[in-house]
Structure 1
């Protein structure tokens, strides 16, 4: 017996939704960064409480105990020429994590968040690193402040772009994605992560810089980064960002 596939599914597979199409649909929603941050904070507080009740792991921002153990393990398992036999990529400033609030703001608000991610979308040699937990947070936020259909289509599109990474449940999704995925840049709207004291503390444990989208866009220079990340002269953007 032949089972007919839903036509909308076939069309979606044959013609993947572009970021431009998603942005056009998202323009119909009146959402600001404060609303996104509020929904994300509420979701993560609930997730953290459930993790604590179930004995979940400590994240990179929780006392640093897990990072200290992981860093010690990495030092014991580093192979020739600095290769890491744990399978984690070597840290690179061309590998970037956008926190769930930035991902949602890119879609629904635009502004600095979109400008920051457009730089990455325009250069194929940069990498957006994101765990499933991080995308789940962003998807839930989009569904809450916009609608589930837009959230589902966004999830399919972002999943084709990001490089996935795994981390223990209970870890902060953005910081853990950076640590496990070799990302040296984290972009977030969370002021508790971008404050000078917190940023300095993180840099003592992780080779990472945490900035808000405006600050990231101001300092992230593909032209300066290209010679060390890829080699040769910078050729300019090499793909359509949307």
Structure 2
């Protein structure tokens, strides 16, 4: 594993990916930051997308779940994961992501942070915290270099 995670790589847990689909709220605001910039990447394993598909199907129907998964597959950076690992955590450490967005309080707890810190360097936060703290200008300067000229993609496409 590289020493430093890529600050332009983001993992969204299944709960956040589903909320992004259904609610115009914090999850959508957070993931729109990712979709607005071609240099910011969404990282996800097949297992994470499968978990998301099951969740969306339970909340709506299997057709919407399959269509949502297909869209996510086209947008994401694919990473492999061991089958017994937590899909979002595995996506973060296998994809060298600096950010993991989740509503799961257990993952965002201080205890989880202390347990994970020796193994993986990832910032685990709620989508609203990420959406509030995301600073594309300074991130662009650090990751890409040069002057930030603003978003380069429409998040609705």
TM-score computed with the length of structure 1 as normaliser: 0.62
2:14 is equivalent to residue 100 of structure 1: yes
Determine the C-alpha separation between the residues in 2 that align with 1:196 and 1:215: 16
What aligned pairs does 1:1-242 form with structure 2 within 5 A after superposition?
A: 74=1, 91-242=5-156
8 Å contact kept, 1:143–1:150: yes
Deviation per CA, 1:138-177, whole angstroms, max 9, x where unpaired? Answer: 0010011101111111111111100110011010000011
* Max Rg structure: 1
Greater relative contact order (Cα < 8 A, sep 6+): 2
Q: Which has the higher helix share?
A: 1
SS at match of 1:168: coil
Kindly indicate whether the alpha-carbon contact (under 8 Å) linking 1:124 and 1:239 is maintained by their aligned counterparts in 2. Answer: yes
The whole-number CA distance in structure 1 between the counterparts of 2:71 and 2:16 is: 16
In terms of fraction of residues, the more strand-rich structure is 2
Question: 5+ residue gaps in structure 2?
Answer: none
Task: Check whether the contact 1:203–1:209 (CA below 8 A) recurs between aligned residues.
Answer: no
Question: TM-score w.r.t. structure 2 length?
Answer: 0.94
Structure 2: distance between partners of 1:234 and 1:136: 35
